[in-house]
Amino acid sequence: MKIKSFKSGMARWAAGATAGVFAALTVSAALAEDLTVYTAVEAEDLKKYAAKFNESYPDINIKWVRDSTGVVTAKLLAEKNNPQADVVWGLAATSLMLLKAEGMTEGYAPAGVDKLDKKFVDSANPPHWTGMDAWIASVCVNTVEAEAKGLPMPTSWKDLTKPVYAGHVVMPNPNSSGTGFLDVSSWLQMFGEGGGWDFMDGLHKNIAWYTHSGSKPCKQAASGETPIGISFAFRGAKSKAKGAPLEIIIPSEGVGWDMEATAIVKGTKKLAAAQKLVDFTVTMEANEMYNKGYAVVAYPGVAKPVEHYPAGILDAMIDNDFEYAAINRKAILAEWQKRYDSKSEAK
Amino acid sequence: MTDTVSTTITTSPAAPIRPTLSRDDIIMRLSMGAIAIFLIFAIILPLYTMLSKSFENKAGDFIGLQNFAEYFSTPALFLSIFNSLEISIIATFIVLITAFIYGYALTRSCIPLKRFFRLVSLVPLLTPSLLGGISLVYWFGNQGVAKGLLMGEKIYGPIGITIGSSYWVFPHVLMIVITALSITDARLYEAAESLRTSKLKTFFTVTLPGCKYGLISAGFVAFTLIFTDFGVPKVIGGNYNMLATDIYKQVIGQQNFQMGAVVSVVLLIPAIIAFTVDRIVQRKQVALLSARAVPYTPKSDMMRDTVLFLFCLIVAIIILGMVGMAQYAALVKFWPYNLTLTLDNYNFDVMDGGGWDAYYNSIRMGLYTAFFGTIVIFFGAYLVEKGRGFGAGRTALHMIAIIPLAVPGMVLGLAYIFFFNNPANPFNFIYGTMAILVLASVTHFYTVSHLTAVTALKQMDPEFESVSQSLKTPFYKTFSRVTVPVCMPAIFDVSIYLFMNAMTTVSAVVFIYASDTTLASIAVLNMDDAGDIAPAAAMALMIAYTCLAARGIHAVITWQLHKKTQAWRAR
């Protein structure tokens, strides 16, 4: 009897739960036009971006899908046969170049694109992507740990190969992280093929470990896990603002960079709305918005200095040859892997 | 033998006697078919779409074994196999021994604070595995408080991976071990006692053989989970390459799905070995809980209980030390330079807008996963274990149920994109909805739940089925009136397991959530990525408290149920 009463209770509960589930799974209808936007922009900035956009276009509702650069790129490529995104706003330009090569982007010249710095616009006509801001490599040095370990402040990339830094440098693995690849490709461009690998041979001797994420080395420097982390300026400035004892170094030889950029996904059913959004992303006010976190933006004359960013960062940016990087990516990564990744133990 | 019972004899004397299927048999086979179709759509087909890429080039043309040739000619890639094997074997032994002693103490001794120990053992399940990695860094990293304990060794590498893996796999293994230990027949112990068998001998001749099957299953679960996990090595692995981090490098770092698929195929091999061994062992398993079984009630033993209590205490302290450190780090101003305590980090406004929505989405997903998952998994396990006829089919079902364990969440997520985002797929409509997240979570955590259910069912005497069959009771009645009530503790363990895992999983869902279905666990990962460790910890703790609350409700329900359905266990 007990079992029976229990069972009927279960049955009632199950019926109720099932009904609830079906009600909850039903999708509610949307009012304004929804635009699905994939992005790798920091989550806290997304709200501001959308609010600013809605000031000009109140009837377009941005639905963000945010993740790290690698995940968003992989997701876009995996969805290639049936794209879910309408627009990509805020993804590494090198990723968008990859998508363009796969025929996944729609050419469109947004109104006012001619006002942007040429470096920040795809050379195709009409352009397939437009840049927003630059994302610049730098070295984060923890001043407390550096002092405790008696490390001199490095001023150049070559400094980092000195024996004094042995075991004190952390950098992203270029096979896992776009930032890591950006560093490697910039060294090969600056020091030449032979010089670049020689430099990395020296650097490898000093590397404590390679990370899988580009921001991690700077975060680890901020918390003292390592005295020196090769990362990018944006992350360094953010950590510094939070009170980390960091010095952000721009190596004297110059630094590699990539940009955050925007593109329309080919085959979107909401082309008109997508174009409106992209029009907005190249405006002066949008660039002023990017300038809140990034020192270098696509719209000339807009950029004001950003707190905690090292001085002279604009001049240090190398003349990055994105085409070289894209064409040789596979070979560079294979060579890197062969030289530095085939040993499992740390050194 | 059982077939003859259900055979109805045809009346025509001339026709040869052919056994026909009874109505009951037909319903049973239809049910098996339904579960099979579910598993095929949830596991086999998506995996096929993903793994077939290992034989394709970038353009999608078939190129045979070329990718595999490339893989095995790149030492940086294939040497990871040995690293993964080494770590997994060592960590499996650590976890298995720890979980066995811990589980033994909880089920077969009279130590105090059992409920507390049981609760603590679940703690690693309460938070995303990320938190364990963060704690290890705080404890043993270069700034770690207990760095000295490592005697100059680095936590970043094999040591960190082994500790971190053992920590997060512990509750998974313990669940199976406890299930295996808790169903036993006290008459065996009474017999041993009256024969004056020594306690040690009783342990080796009664206890161990009785839970052997569960232990072996648990061992393979631990091995495969560690072998395929990428969360721990990613956070704390340093330069130590593992297969799972290689997939990460290929898929996320280089968007090389083909090579990612090759590594995934390599990862599947241990699952196949596990399955084979599992089958061989299982053949020898005899049901412990015969229809005449008497439940075992431990008697107190000062010496044994003290030792076991101390052991549990140490394990509990280690587990609490791990979360405690994460909690502490979330409460200090700026680790490690300003250790003043502050509640600033609990300012939820710092979280992005999706924060609370994501949290509620997670709860919804957890509940659906627990509800639907438990039904499908337990019924599936019942059919596999207690079903009649269709032997090959049942073996196949069991095999398919083992597969998800060997599939890293990331691979499953990608497979779901490739499979469900295809416009030609009739189930395309679930893409981008809550349903696909639920399906992915159920699938991702299918194996451990399935094995728990099977372990519980296996210990029930098949006589229950034979008797009900000879009484012409349809199987579904036996199922709902005998099997389900008897297995209720295991069923509820499965549901809470599914709920908690769905709340904390990241890798399985990171590719398939959409803007309306953001999840709290992903918010944690992203906030940590963005350097907002404080709100990340706050959100992780919200998840933990929710799981804890769920666990509390679960305990109350289990207790009530125990009174209602498990009274027969006591004499």
Report pLDDT digits (tens) over A320-333. 998 888 889 889 99
- How many C-beta atoms lie closer than 10 Å to residue B259's C-beta? 22
Considering the domain boundaries, does residue A8 fall inside one? no
Q: Judge: B511–A144 Cβ closer than 8 Å, yes or no.
A: no
Is the domain of B370 the same as that of B433?
yes
Q: Which of A22, A104, A242, A344 to mutate to test the interface with B (most CBs of B within 10 A)?
A: A344
* Chain B residues in contact with A44 (beta carbon < 8 A): 350, 352, 530, 532
Considering the domain boundaries, does residue A139 fall inside one? yes
Instruction: Tell me the shortest Cα–Cα distance from B190 to chain A, in angstroms.
Output: 30
Out of B143, B255, B527, closest to residue A73 by CB: B255
Considering the domain boundaries, does residue A27 fall inside one? no
Domain boundaries, position A206: 135-256+321-341
Tally A–B CB contacts below 8 A.
180
Q: What is the DSSP letter of B143?
A: T
Q: Is A30 on the interface with B (CB under 8 A)?
A: no
Collapse the DSSP code of A347 into the 3-class scheme (helix H, G, I; strand E, B; otherwise coil) and give the result.
coil
Q: How many angstroms separate the CA atoms of B80 and B62, rounded? A: 26
Out of B234, B352, B522, closest to residue A44 by CB: B352
Considering the domain boundaries, does residue B403 fall inside one? yes
Considering the domain boundaries, does residue A181 fall inside one? yes
Q: Judge: A3–B565 Cβ closer than 8 Å, yes or no.
A: yes
* Chain A residues in contact with B252 (beta carbon < 8 A): 68, 70-71, 74, 176
Considering the domain boundaries, does residue B39 fall inside one? no
By the 8 A CB rule, do B570 and B377 touch? no
Q: Judge: A344–B83 Cβ closer than 8 Å, yes or no.
A: yes
* Chain B residues in contact with A24 (beta carbon < 8 A): 364, 434
Conformation bin of residue B60: beta by default, left when phi > 0, alpha when psi is -120 to 50: left
Q: Is A241 on the interface with B (CB under 8 A)?
A: no
Which residue of chain B has the CA closest to A13? B371
Considering the domain boundaries, does residue B4 fall inside one? no
Q: Judge: A344–B239 Cβ closer than 8 Å, yes or no.
A: yes
Out of A68, A98, A144, closest to residue B255 by CB: A98
Is the domain of A209 the same as that of A115?
no
Q: How many angstroms separate the CA atoms of B318 and A58, rounded? A: 54
Is the domain of B435 the same as that of B316?
no
Considering the domain boundaries, does residue A129 fall inside one? yes
Considering the domain boundaries, does residue B193 fall inside one? yes
Which residue of chain A has the CA closest to B247? A176
Q: How many H helices and E strands in chain A?
A: 12, 10
Please give the tally of structural domains in chain B. 2
Considering the domain boundaries, does residue B433 fall inside one? yes
Domain boundaries, position B235: 53-333
Question: Digits of tens for pLDDT over chain B (571 positions)?
Answer: 344 444 444 444 555 555 666 777 888 888 888 999 999 999 999 999 988 999 998 888 888 889 999 899 888 888 888 999 999 999 999 999 999 999 999 988 889 999 899 889 988 888 777 777 778 888 898 888 888 887 778 888 899 999 999 998 999 899 888 888 877 777 788 888 888 888 888 888 888 887 887 888 888 888 888 888 877 888 788 888 888 888 888 888 888 899 989 998 888 887 677 767 766 776 766 555 566 667 777 888 888 899 999 999 999 999 999 888 878 877 777 777 877 777 766 655 555 545 678 888 999 999 999 999 999 999 999 888 887 777 788 888 888 888 888 888 888 988 999 899 988 888 989 998 999 999 999 999 998 899 889 888 887 777 887 888 788 888 888 888 888 888 888 888 899 889 998 998 887 888 888 888 888 888 877 777 666 666 677 778 788 888 889 888 888 887 887 777 666 666 5
By the 8 A CB rule, do B304 and B100 touch? no
Is the domain of B218 the same as that of B128?
yes
Considering the domain boundaries, does residue B343 fall inside one? no
Alpha-helical (H) ranges within B156-289 are: 158-182, 186-194, 199-202, 208-228, 231-236, 243-248, 257-284
* Chain B residues in contact with A235 (beta carbon < 8 A): 531
* Chain B residues in contact with A21 (beta carbon < 8 A): 368, 371-372
Give chain A's end-to-end CA distance (angstroms, integer).
Answer: 70
By the 8 A CB rule, do B72 and B440 touch? no
> What's the complex ipTM?
0.80
* Chain A residues in contact with B156 (beta carbon < 8 A): 208-209, 346
Q: How many angstroms separate the CA atoms of A299 and A325, rounded? A: 24
Residue B226 half-sphere exposure, CB side, CA atoms within 13 Å? 35
CB contacts under 8 A, A 277-336 vs B, are 333-334
Is the domain of A245 the same as that of A290?
no
Q: Is B531 on the interface with A (CB under 8 A)?
A: yes
Q: Is A342 on the interface with B (CB under 8 A)?
A: yes
Considering the domain boundaries, does residue B12 fall inside one? no
* Chain B residues in contact with A177 (beta carbon < 8 A): 253
User: Could you report the per-residue pLDDT of A239-275, keeping only the tens digit for each?
Assistant: 888 888 999 999 999 999 999 999 999 999 999 999 9
Pick the closest to residue B299 from B185, B186, B178 (CA basis).
B186
Out of A178, A210, A245, closest to residue B239 by CB: A210
Pick the closest to residue A313 from A285, A294, A288 (CA basis).
A294
- How many C-beta atoms lie closer than 10 Å to residue B186's C-beta? 15
Q: How many angstroms separate the CA atoms of B511 and B490, rounded? A: 31
Is the domain of B355 the same as that of B325?
no
* Chain A residues in contact with B336 (beta carbon < 8 A): 223-224
Is the domain of A120 the same as that of A267?
yes
Out of A79, A81, A225, closest to residue B137 by CB: A225
The CATH number of the domain holding residue B424 is 1.10.3720.10
CA A213 to chain centre: 10
Q: Judge: B253–A70 Cβ closer than 8 Å, yes or no.
A: yes
Q: Which of A46, A175, A203, A330 to mutate to test the interface with B (most CBs of B within 10 A)?
A: A175
Considering the domain boundaries, does residue A2 fall inside one? no
* Exposure class string for A191-208: b at 16+ Cβ within 10 A, else e: beeeebbebbeebbebbb
By the 8 A CB rule, do B365 and B438 touch? yes
Is the domain of B111 the same as that of B222?
yes
Q: Judge: A25–B481 Cβ closer than 8 Å, yes or no.
A: no
Is the domain of A61 the same as that of A111?
yes
Residue B391 burial by CB count (10 A; 0-12/13-18/19+): exposed, middle or buried?
A: exposed
